[in-house]
Structure 1
Amino acid sequence: MRAFDAIQIYFDAAAEHLDLEPAFREALLMPQREVQVQVSIERDDGSLANFVGFRVQHDNSRGPMKGGLRYHHEVDLDETRALASLMTWKTAVVDLPYGGAKGGIGVNPRELSHREIERLTRAFVDQIHDIVGPDTDIPAPDMGTDHQVMAWFRNQWEKYHGFQPAVITGKPVEQYGAKGREEATGRGVGMLTFKLVRRLSRQPKETRIAIQGFGNVGSHAAKFLHESEFPVVAVSDTTGTYYKADGLDIPALFHHRLQHEHGLLAGYTDCEVLPMNALLELEDVDVLIPAALGGVITEDNVDRIKASVIIEAANGPIFPAADKILYERGVTVLPDILANAGGVTVSYFEWVQNRQHYRWTLDRVRQELDHTMSSAFENVWQTSQEKDLSLRTAAYMIGIARVQRATELAGLT
């Protein structure tokens, strides 16, 4: 199934409850603009390399468009379109004054040198600089990119448009970035996991966690949950599943990841090492947190998923057919458009600070993040309970209704 088709299924389920007319549904769902560019760079050995880059701008009815910049070999127009629409509903669910966008380049960054990634970033900016900006479309880090890529992006964009750090978020703190931005998505995942577990009348110490993916999001989520006394019994990355029945030593794993190339866990020995895909199907797990790629839970493996709660830290980790089966089984799924919204929330805080030329403390960033995410969670939870709907449908209804209202107020219908 194509990624955008999956989003449309979730969208349509919520739109039915909102009684949206078909033409208006199409207007809200389809992107406003899609850009595909060729990005050519000189490799370190003097050869020429060509890549394809994308920027999809989905909706700006509630404010400037906002969305990550992804460097991954599977990036294509369909995925970028789907993720751009997700950003529209995500920013609306947490009530940020943004719309949705997404961008990326089809490349494996591990196959490029540091200088080649810089040249790639600058060449991409050369192609799209005139369609992004602090009042139109604000990129941010995503899979395969980080604060350094954001610094290069900003520097190249400012060569055309002058000093304006608010053009991009997720920058280094020394380059007007926000404190707490790197931890934000994972911290938000951890916070909402805690809130959902308490809503389900569970105790943290008795709730066993498994996290698929131990990159930036998964590792910070694990750190927060460990500090909140949850036993994190399994984590995984491309090198395998690292399992310990009585709970992993997350600080030790975190340190190991930081000390090894590409942040991989290979070589960590204080646990049992299982195949990479084993994590999804572990028997003794209460909460499963997919924090890697999308589409990892499908009709083919959904019957082997044992967790009773799933937190979507990744974008689109559950295909619609599997999501329906899980709902019918009574599995509680916290959807991606809420669960992983911590990153864009702190990106918003960074943008606000840049526009005000004023810096917040880390404590204030965390307090504001907690307030924003908690308010959104309570809104989605109450809607779900009152209307007897899944948390996903409730979240989409809230997001779509806010975008619908903004569009109508603008007089475009």
Structure 2
Amino acid sequence: MANYNPYENMLQTLDLAADTLGIPRNDYEVLRHPEREMNVAIPVQMDDGHVEVFTGYRCQHSSVLGASKGGLRFHPDADENEVRALGAWMTIKNAIAHLPYGGGKGGIKVDPKKLSERELERLTRGFVRKIAPIIGVERDVPAPDVNTNPQIMSWIVDEYSALTGQWTPGIVTGKPLAIGGSLGRNEATGRGCMFTLLSYLEKQGTSIKDLTIAVQGFGNVGSVGALLMHREGAKIVAIGDVHGSLYNANGIDVEKAYEYANSHGRSLEGYEEPGMTRIPNPDLLLLDVDVLYLAALENQVNEANMKEVKAKLILEGANGPLTKDADLYFFEKGIPVLPDVLANGGGVVVSYYEWVQNKAGFYWSEEEVNEKLAKNMKKSFEEVWAMQEEFKVYPRLAAYMVALRRLVEALKIKGYNG
């Protein structure tokens, strides 16, 4: 898997979507190329006085439908290809969700666990100073992603506002409530995954109460999704993070595990409960369950392990957890995949609501936010489902087709003609 290029993977699916819809290459060629990419060197004075230089990335894949929108991740494996692919997936995701956004993504090559909070703040503010010329409320709006959180968003708001000389809460989403965040934003991605699963089960005439679920990844997306599905009556039999995986055939006490992880830096390390056993992380993916909820990182199910997966349905909370080969393998085997660009769109949908509230200076209740999210996720699901049924294609391809049709219409209206 060393040569796996997620952006090439995205292009193959995009081209297939165009071929299936009969869209000529000229009509969407611009979408195969990121509009703007920026790599920056960020010098940080560490607590002991020495200076380290970190590499940061921001990719603005598209602004066809509006300002580029997408998260910022801090991870030692962050690189240009990853950020480019994630930015393109955001273009697709935002188009599916009917949001007035293009796609963007950012990353810093760093292991944040090795930095003190003061070093992390210096790094974040340094990154903002480097990318400030290309971001803006109407230009490019970052958000939390892997290893970033509301505190990091707060530093971005503060630094950007200092640079521009005016209070600008809408420069990022996923902020704390105290400085313009939205109620419901923290839970939005996991909640959206649950809404997508419920929409699928409704089509099958099945109840979530009948399901067993294994959850890979117990950060924001995995833990919130697991908790909400547990509250709906699903039996969560396995959860896992980078520190290890836990299994209990009778069901994990998700409320307890969620509370523990949240009070231990989003980590399950050291968590114990009666009846659970520890299993190797790779084994979690191979459990005999109804749903495998993938909420960790890209490329988790691939040619090496896809034939051993026993789950009856795959729910993608993370971005790109299946390779293209795995996607096609599951389609041929009749194992449904609820793809990332549809299922995990709840985060950016409520980010949009946060952005709108910041612009208006008027804020909604959590109930209003969740109602709007439910309607949006349902509408997106129905459109992708209709495309899938009409063309008899696998779900991810159907999702790309919905997005591409919308993007090409906008391109033609705006006058992009090759």
Query: Which letter does structure 2 place at the counterpart of 1:147?
Result: P
Matched, 1:75 2:78: yes
Q: Check the 8 A contact 2:303/2:325 in 1, yes or no.
A: yes
Which residue of structure 2 lines up, in the alignment, with residue 380 of structure 1? 384
Which residue of structure 2 lines up, in the alignment, with residue 14 of structure 1? 17
Matched, 1:48 2:67: no
Equivalent residue runs for 1:242-253 within 5 Å = 242-253=246-257
- State the alpha-carbon separation in 1 of the partners of residues 360 and 264 from structure 2: 38
- State the alpha-carbon separation in 1 of the partners of residues 202 and 357 from structure 2: 33
- State the alpha-carbon separation in 2 of the partners of residues 127 and 240 from structure 1: 37
Q: Check the 8 A contact 1:91/1:344 in 2, yes or no.
A: yes
Output one character per residue of 1:243-300: Cα deviation in whole Å (capped at 9) or x when no partner.
Answer: 11121111011111122244334332331111111110012x0111110000001111
> TM-score, normalised on structure 2?
0.97
Which residue of structure 1 lines up, in the alignment, with residue 222 of structure 2? 218
Which of 98, 103, 110 aligns to 1:100? It is: 103
Which residue of structure 1 lines up, in the alignment, with residue 283 of structure 2? 278
Output one character per residue of 1:150-176: Cα deviation in whole Å (capped at 9) or x when no partner.
Answer: 000011011121222111111110000
- State the alpha-carbon separation in 2 of the partners of residues 10 and 317 from structure 1: 15
Which residue of structure 1 lines up, in the alignment, with residue 359 of structure 2? 355
Which residue of structure 2 lines up, in the alignment, with residue 63 of structure 1? 66
Query: Which letter does structure 1 place at the counterpart of 2:93?
Result: K
- State the alpha-carbon separation in 2 of the partners of residues 377 and 91 from structure 1: 13
Secondary structure of the corresponding residue to residue 159 of structure 2: helix
- State the alpha-carbon separation in 1 of the partners of residues 299 and 86 from structure 2: 13
- State the alpha-carbon separation in 2 of the partners of residues 68 and 210 from structure 1: 26
Equivalent residue runs for 1:157-236 within 5 Å = 157-161=160-164, 162-236=166-240
Secondary structure of the corresponding residue to residue 125 of structure 1: helix
Matched, 1:84 2:84: no
- State the alpha-carbon separation in 2 of the partners of residues 216 and 121 from structure 1: 20
Output one character per residue of 1:200-241: Cα deviation in whole Å (capped at 9) or x when no partner.
Answer: 232222211111001100000011101110111111111221
Secondary structure of the corresponding residue to residue 410 of structure 2: helix
Aligned length: 412
Deviation (angstroms), 1:383: 1.5
Q: Check the 8 A contact 1:86/1:100 in 2, yes or no.
A: yes
- State the alpha-carbon separation in 1 of the partners of residues 268 and 228 from structure 2: 19
Output one character per residue of 1:337-393: Cα deviation in whole Å (capped at 9) or x when no partner.
Answer: 001000000000000000000111111110111011111011111221122111111
- State the alpha-carbon separation in 1 of the partners of residues 266 and 235 from structure 2: 26
Matched, 1:398 2:398: no
Distance 1:261 1:376, change over 3 A: closer
Secondary structure of the corresponding residue to residue 142 of structure 2: strand
Which residue of structure 1 lines up, in the alignment, with residue 329 of structure 2? 325
Secondary structure of the corresponding residue to residue 269 of structure 1: coil
Query: Which letter does structure 1 place at the counterpart of 2:279?
Result: L
- State the alpha-carbon separation in 1 of the partners of residues 380 and 148 from structure 2: 27
Q: Percent identity?
A: 40
Which deviates more from structure 2 when the two are superposed, residues 64-73 or residues 191-200? 191-200
Output one character per residue of 1:73-118: Cα deviation in whole Å (capped at 9) or x when no partner.
Answer: 0000000000000000000001101000000100000000001000
Secondary structure of the corresponding residue to residue 331 of structure 1: coil
Q: Check the 8 A contact 1:253/1:265 in 2, yes or no.
A: no
- State the alpha-carbon separation in 2 of the partners of residues 412 and 116 from structure 1: 44
Q: Check the 8 A contact 2:28/2:408 in 1, yes or no.
A: no
Which residue of structure 1 lines up, in the alignment, with residue 42 of structure 2? 39
Which residue of structure 1 lines up, in the alignment, with residue 8 of structure 2? 5
Query: Which letter does structure 1 place at the counterpart of 2:154?
Result: A
Query: Which letter does structure 1 place at the counterpart of 2:283?
Result: A
Q: Which runs of 5 or more residues in structure 1 are unaligned?
A: none
- Following TM superposition, the consecutive aligned residue runs of length 4 or more in structure 1 with deviations greater than 3 angstroms are none
